[in-house]
């Protein structure tokens, strides 16, 4: 019996009441409501908003009991709380993670100097997105059964580098689904591009877009707001605008805290600070969700690269995308419109969906918005923000490697630099956990230059060179890309995205 059939049968056998569209999730922009399975399937609310749980912080979650479980047990408990309505969450978790991660810990915690690095890149694509995007296909297939959805679900996703491959890896050849991925042409690393362009699967399409990630993301959102009408097909998203993508990311905050307890570094109840490299604000928002569940999270430190729109917002309360866009060595953070911030705005506004809608319209039409002082105070109660330019990023990679022997990627280096800045200002002595979001071998050219080396040859030659220099083996999932056939060659303008989707819906 397939996963779809199992959950469909389970629902029909146990449900005495007719299926109701009402549920615990509502849109950030209005009165669109959904159950967890519906929210996972839809991705984006019909009014363009993001689904949130208004009661996320109302307690009732056994944090201490959860921390005592193994990684799979913690994931099951957390996801059951965040996404109510899914039967047999333990089976979904096992299907997502069992045998797919290089470490039994899923996300190992490594001491680096006086801090800790949470390695999120031990999944099949060597990036933090694997934790969520191994889980999302399980959730989506189960959701189709629970809601009685017979039509095909096509995943429509924009990526700044890592989401695309992780989503393709998770959804390729999954029955009842298709996936279309857009990425900025020339705006991802050579390794990230190779990961996507060599992706196999009868139900996948990959397309480069002339422009940056924001161009891709805004065009994809427009397709969701005015979807092409194709019989038997519905759209969903694998970006963190989908609550089913965001919820699994909460798990590794718990895993890090549990590991610090296990090592005797903290006792339950002591606070831990987390430093997160972020562009679309999903990874750090997951930490805020963990805090709402009751995890003793101290400060959440937002680390931005030269595209410092989040640093400026968290400092001033003004979100302004009317600025120069920089292509950096940390391309997954090259974003000026951070979609997940909308969820935090909802809570900061006390659930005032009209205020959120007005801000999003102002951002769309005028390029900026400003939140009230009270809302900014609400956000700054939990968040700090620092940024790191290109020179500082490369210097941080070299400093870290020479001082500790630990080799960070370009995104992790941004976070390590922010951690250093943060610790100069803070008054507490809480442990600091830096989230490491990708393997350094995804960005070999930049990392080699940071170490004072002259990169040689193509990306695969550079991976070998970096391995020699560092004494670290490249992940097989990356080195194994060499020689793979390029299967996707489409390159289009931003204005062509809607037509491209329409053509591909019947193919994937």
Active-site positions? 129
Give the Cα separation of 426 and 414 in Å (integer).
18
| Element holding 419 (H helix, E strand) | helix 410-425
Closest CA to 298 of 269, 326, 255, 324: 269
- Is residue 405 within 8 A of residue 390, CB to CB? The reply is no
DSSP symbols for 330-387:
-GGG--SS-TTHHHHHHHHTTT-HHHHHHHHHHHHHHSEEE--HHHHHHHHTTEEEEE
Within 8 A by CB and 6+ apart from 316, the residues are none
- Is residue 162 within 8 A of residue 437, CB to CB? The reply is yes
Residue matched to tokens 């390794």: 191
Within 8 A by CB and 6+ apart from 18, the residues are none
Provide the token pair at 314: 């968290």
Give the Cα separation of 420 and 167 in Å (integer).
33
Provide the token pair at 21: 């569209």
Closest CA to 344 of 332, 330, 360: 360
Residue matched to tokens 């390695």: 119
CA angle 244, 506, 218 (to 5 degrees): 50
Query: What is the CA 78 to chain-centroid distance, rounded?
Result: 17
Give the Cα separation of 238 and 170 in Å (integer).
10
- What is the DSSP-derived secondary structure letter of residue 328? -
Helix 71-82 and helix 282-293, axial crossing angle in degrees, nearest 10? 90
DSSP symbols for 424-485:
HH-S----EEEEE-B-GGGSHHHHHHHTT----SSHHHHHHHHHHHH--PPPHHHHTTTTPP
What are the backbone angles phi and psi of residue 184, rounded to the nearest 5°? -70, 125
């Amino acid at each position: 019996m397939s996963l779809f059939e199992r959950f469909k049968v389970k629902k029909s056998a146990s449900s005495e009441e007719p299926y109701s569209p009402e549920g615990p999730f509502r849109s950030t922009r209005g009165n669109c409501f959904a159950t967890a399975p519906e929210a996972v399937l839809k991705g984006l609310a019909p009014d363009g908003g993001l689904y949130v749980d208004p009661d996320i912080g109302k307690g009732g979650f056994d944090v201490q009991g959860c921390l005592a479980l193994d990684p799979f047990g913690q994931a099951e408990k957390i996801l059951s709380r965040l996404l109510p309505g899914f039967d047999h969450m333990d089976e979904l978790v096992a299907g997502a993670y069992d045998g797919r991660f290089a470490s039994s810990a899923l996300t190992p915690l490594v001491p680096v100097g006086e801090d800790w690095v949470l390695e999120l890149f031990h999944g099949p694509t060597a990036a933090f997105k694997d934790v969520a995007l191994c889980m999302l296909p399980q959730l989506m297939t189960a959701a189709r059964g629970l809601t009685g959805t017979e039509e095909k679900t096509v995943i429509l996703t924009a990526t700044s580098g890592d989401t695309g491959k992780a989503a393709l890896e998770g959804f390729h050849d999954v029955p009842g689904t298709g996936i279309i991925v857009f990425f900025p042409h020339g705006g991802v690393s050579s390794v990230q591009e190779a990961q996507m362009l060599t992706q196999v699967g009868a139900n996948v399409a990959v397309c480069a877009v002339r422009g940056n990630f924001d161009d891709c993301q805004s065009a994809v959102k427009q397709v969701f707001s005015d979807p092409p009408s194709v019989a038997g097909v519905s759209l969903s998203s694998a970006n963190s605008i989908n609550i089913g993508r965001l919820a699994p990311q909460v798990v590794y905050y718990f895993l890090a805290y549990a590991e610090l307890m296990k090592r005797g570094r903290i006792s339950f109840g002591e606070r831990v600070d987390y430093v997160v490299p972020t562009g679309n604000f999903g990874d750090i928002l997951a930490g805020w969700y963990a805090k709402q569940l009751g995890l003793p999270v101290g400060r959440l430190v937002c680390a931005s690269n030269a595209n410092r729109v989040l640093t400026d917002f968290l400092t001033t309360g003004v979100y302004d995308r009317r600025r120069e866009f920089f292509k950096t060595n940390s391309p997954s953070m090259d974003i000026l419109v951070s979609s997940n911030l909308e969820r935090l705005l909802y809570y900061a506004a006390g659930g005032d969906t009209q205020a959120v809608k007005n801000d999003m319209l102002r951002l769309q039409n005028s390029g900026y918005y400003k939140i009230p002082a009270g809302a900014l105070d609400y956000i700054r109660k939990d968040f700090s923000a620092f940024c790191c330019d290109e020179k500082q990023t490369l210097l941080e990679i070299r400093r870290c490697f020479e001082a500790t022997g630990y080799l960070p990627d370009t995104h992790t280096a941004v976070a390590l630099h922010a951690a250093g800045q943060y610790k100069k200002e803070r008054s507490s002595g809480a442990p600091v956990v830096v989230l490491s979001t990708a393997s350094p071998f995804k960005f070999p050219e930049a990392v080699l230059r940071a170490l004072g080396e002259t990169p040689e040859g193509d990306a695969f030659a550079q991976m070998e060179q970096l391995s020699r220099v560092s004494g670290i083996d490249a992940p097989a999932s990356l080195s194994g890309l060499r020689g793979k056939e390029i299967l996707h060659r489409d390159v289009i303008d931003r204005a062509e995205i809607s037509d491209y989707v329409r053509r591909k819906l019947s193919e994937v």
